[in-house]
Amino acid sequence: PATVLDVGYAFQVLAALHIGMVVNRYPWPEEMWVPGWSPVAVWTMVFTVAVPARPAKALIINLLAVAMDPLSLLLLIERGKPVPSFEMALFRFAPGIGAVLLGLIATMVIHGLGRQVREASQLGSYRLVEKLGAGSFGEVWRAQHRMLRRPAAVKLISPASLGERDASAARTIIRRFEREAQATSQLCSPHTVDLYDFGVSPDGTFFYVMELLDGIDLQRLVERFGPVEPERVIHLLCQACHSLHDAHVQGLVHRDVKPANLFACRNGFEYDFVKVLDFGLVKSSRQEDAGATKLSADGTIQGTPAYIAPEMILEKRQVDGRADLYSLGCVGYWLLTGKLVFEEDLPMRMVLAHAKHEPVVPSKRAGIDVPAELESIIMKCLSKDPEARPASAWELREMLQIAGRTLARPWTQERARRWWEQNLRAP
């Protein structure tokens, strides 16, 4: 781009010389006239606005361009054009200096606006490149590190979005945002999204930087391609269990496990590599930390109605990692059937259904044969009583692995690679 611009600036100067040669070869008036901008001066001003340069560079280029006006006259005099008086030449060429000064002012204004735009799109060491999505609490952008050739995803909350809410709601959003970053930074599982940076920009924008994932979340996976093969469901859920177990052993409960927060991606040479996202509702399962980590008003239900555990609704017991296993069971149900566990028209009815109603087994709604072992595991996760669910995410992972070994055709990396190359080619 810099070379192209330099060629453009050379064109500006040469074009000014050509315009001067064409215009100045015609006879000048014999008497003084009211001075005005010459065609060369007009060309200089128009080009400066259309192709702005840095102020110092623009000053030099524009001086060269307007100098082509008297230079063209000198070349024409060498060819026999009558020599005009000094006063006539001064009246002819002096307004070109005005074009240079106005061009310099225009360049400084444009350059200043460009700098403001660049600064507005800069967060720490990262430059925002493309908006990937937005939600009720913030935006997610594709970003590029200034020094490293490593793309990233930046999640941010701007002061403007906080200003639209009351003070209490704004504080809750900020605390939730900070807790998400802090919780994610504690986790070591390769199946938890990596956090690179966290901070506040000079204008008050809260942001954190995480790895940019190449793939699709499990919500869109089913919406685009339909229900997932049982062996692939086992493969995906086992990886989610790895991330959740890491959180649970550190006393953290995700509380918003759902297909949209589970991302299947390419990770190096691996396909269908699951990453768990969005720990914004994370809460400590340790009794001594419970009060300090509550981020919602009393009586407010946190989580997604289609995937919420009964104990999070009824609040009869301390919520622990088994609430996430219930939600993960709902995810497995969604992957197998393409349907929610409870299809209700209102969120509150859906919440009450999770608290009171027994789900229909997946095989009756999937339209395909669901292996009995897998169906049993899903239904065990969906037990109303946490005591009836697997004791931990690691135990659930082991149960799924055992069920997977009974299948005639397991989900392999070769099958995953073929699926991705056929359906989601790398950009």
Residues 304-316 have pLDDT tens digits of: 899 999 998 876 6
pLDDT in tens, 164-194: 556 666 677 777 777 777 777 888 999 999 8
Going by pLDDT thresholds of 50, 70 and 90, the confidence category of residue 78 is confident
Between 394 and 179, the higher pLDDT residue: 394
**DSSP category for residue 29:** P
Q: Out of 69, 217, 246, 256, pick the active-site residue.
A: 256
CA dihedral 28, 33, 35, 40 (to 10 degrees): -20
Per-residue pLDDT of 122-139, as tens digits, reads 666 778 888 888 765 678
Q: Which CATH number fits domain 123-211: 3.10.20.600, 3.30.200.20, 1.10.240.10, 3.40.190.10?
A: 3.30.200.20
Q: Alpha-carbon distance 36 to 161, whole Å?
A: 51
Instruction: For the full predicted model, state whether its pTM sits above 0.75.
Output: no
The per-residue pLDDT for range 250-295, each reduced to its tens digit, is: 888 998 999 999 999 999 899 999 999 887 665 655 544 443 333 3
pLDDT at 287: 46
- Banded model confidence at residue 401, pLDDT cuts 50, 70, 90: very high
When pLDDT is cut at 50, 70 and 90, the band that residue 101 belongs to is: confident
Question: Residue type at 348?
Answer: M
Tell me, which fold does domain 214-423 have in CATH?
Transferase(Phosphotransferase); domain 1 (1.10.510)
Instruction: Give dist(CA 371, CA 180) in Å, integer.
Output: 36
How far apart are the C-alpha atoms of 254 and 322, rounded to whole Å?
Answer: 10
Q: How far is CA 161 from CA 42, 107, 165, 175, 366, in A?
A: 45, 33, 7, 15, 41
Domain-wise residue ranges, the chain: 2-120, 123-211, 214-423
Residue 256 appears among annotated catalytic residues: yes
Report the pLDDT value the prediction gives residue 316, as an integer from 0 to 100.
61
Neighbour tally for 267: CB within 10 Å: 17
